[in-house]
Structure 1
Amino acid sequence: MRIDGFQNEMQAMMLEATGSKANPTGQQVGADFGNMLSKAINNVNGLQKTSSDMQMRFDRGDEDVSLSDVMIARNKSSVAFEATIQVRNKLVEAYKELMNMPV
């Protein structure tokens, strides 16, 4: 995941919170968040595919792939997936909280 995109998102939210008129509609902030989330999910998918590919190559006896490489790839994939699950849980929790607010 790219840090500079996250930093830009935080700066845009700061400007919006302080009442700056740099982004009066808030449309760009939402689009950036959507793009960032999409890229993060694609990154997790890529890590899982790489892990699966390395495991398959190791199982077939490819001498270029060591057991440690396979285990590192699996752990990276696992950590990324768990982080994605936690983000999803927080988004669902926030959505439920917003829906339960009285109008």
Structure 2
Amino acid sequence: MDTRGIDQMLGELRASSQVAAGKTAQDAPAAGGVEFGAVLQNALDQVSAAQKEAQGMAKDFSAGDPNVNIQDVMVNLQKANLSFQQMVQVRNKLVTAYQDIMNMPV
């Protein structure tokens, strides 16, 4: 199981708590050397690439390309749809976590 994303999130939360406690962000330990923003951007790029590939295949199929069959088009469209839905759920969880943290009494 890949826990880099979870470790990164915990590192970000630790850094935020240290900043809130009056310490600078430079005093906070690095969270495994991976930045949360970079991981999130990479995931967004992968979702975007999957959607573009599926749309391209659908366009090729509708143009009559003999190398593209309907099964591959439908599978890629469903994969792109699922990856987008998963990204929306991750966004919803991040927003909820942010709201929970902001509503905590200090």
TM-score exceeds 0.5: yes
Task: Name which of 50, 56, 61 aligns with 1:58.
Answer: 61
Task: Name which of 80, 93, 97 aligns with 2:96.
Answer: 93
- Separation in 2 of the partners of 1:101 and 1:76? 38
- Separation in 1 of the partners of 2:75 and 2:56? 13
Name the TM-score, length of structure 2 as normaliser. 0.73
Residue 36 of structure 1 and its aligned partner are, at CA, apart by 1.3
Specify the alignment match of 2:82 in structure 1: 79
Q: 1:30 to 1:82 in 2, by over 3 A?
A: farther
Residue 35 of structure 1 and its aligned partner are, at CA, apart by 1.4
Q: Tell me the SS of whatever aligns to 1:42.
A: helix
- Separation in 1 of the partners of 2:94 and 2:7? 21
Specify the alignment match of 2:21 in structure 1: none
Q: How many percent of aligned residue pairs carry the same amino acid?
A: 35
- Separation in 1 of the partners of 2:103 and 2:65? 55
Task: Flag structure 1 segments of 5+ consecutive residues without an equivalent.
Answer: 18-23
Residue 9 of structure 1 and its aligned partner are, at CA, apart by 4.7
Confirm or deny that 1:68 pairs with 2:80.
no
Letter of the 2:68 counterpart: V
Residue 10 of structure 1 and its aligned partner are, at CA, apart by 4.8
Name the TM-score, length of structure 1 as normaliser. 0.75
RMSD over aligned Cα atoms: 2.6
Task: Name which of 36, 39, 44 aligns with 2:47.
Answer: 44
